[in-house]
C-alpha cells in the first residue's frame, strides 16, 4: 500500500467518528486527533480560519456547542495526501443535526 493508503486506512475511520461526534455536540474526539504543534491551521466552512492550538481548541469547543442531535453523518473524500509526518484530507460533509443560532 502507498503512504496515502496507509494514512487513510488508519485515520479516516477515526476522522469520520470524530466529526460525527462534533455534529452531535462532542468536541473531544476531534480535539484528541489534532496536533498541538505549530504550525497547525484550520480553514473551515464559511471561510473560518484559525491558526495555532490556542485558537483552535476554543473554536472547536464553541463549534460543538452549536450542534446537537446528529441523526446522520456522511463524509465524501475528494482528495488526500501524505508525506512523512504531514497529511491531509479534503471532503464534503453532509449531516442531519440541530443547529443553534450562528454567532461568530
Q: What is the pLDDT along the chain (104 residues), one digit of tens a residue?
A: 899 999 999 999 999 999 999 999 999 999 999 999 988 999 888 789 999 999 999 999 999 999 999 999 999 999 999 999 889 999 999 999 998 854 43
> Is residue 104 a part of any domain in this protein?
no
> Is residue 67 a part of any domain in this protein?
yes
Question: Does pTM top 0.85 for this prediction?
Answer: yes
Residue 6 to residues 10, 17, 18, 90, 99, Cα–Cα distance (Å): 6, 18, 19, 16, 35
> Is residue 37 a part of any domain in this protein?
yes
The tally of domains found in the chain comes to 1
State the residue range of the domain holding 53. Answer: 3-95
Grid coordinates in use for 59? 473554536
DSSP line for 3-58: HHHHHHHHHHHHHHHHHHHHTTT--HHHHHHS--SSS-EEE-GGG-EEESHHHHHH
Amino acid at each position: 500500500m502507498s503512504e496515502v493508503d496507509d494514512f487513510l486506512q488508519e485515520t479516516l475511520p477515526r476522522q469520520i467518528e470524530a466529526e460525527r461526534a462534533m455534529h452531535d455536540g462532542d468536541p473531544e474526539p476531534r480535539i484528541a486527533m489534532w496536533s498541538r504543534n505549530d504550525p497547525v491551521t484550520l480553514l473551515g466552512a464559511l471561510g473560518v480560519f484559525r491558526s495555532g492550538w490556542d485558537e483552535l481548541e476554543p473554536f472547536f469547543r464553541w463549534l460543538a456547542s452549536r450542534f446537537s442531535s446528529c441523526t446522520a453523518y456522511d463524509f465524501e473524500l475528494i482528495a488526500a495526501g501524505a508525506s512523512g509526518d504531514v497529511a491531509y484530507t479534503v471532503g464534503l460533509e453532509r449531516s442531519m443535526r440541530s443547529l443553534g443560532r450562528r454567532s461568530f
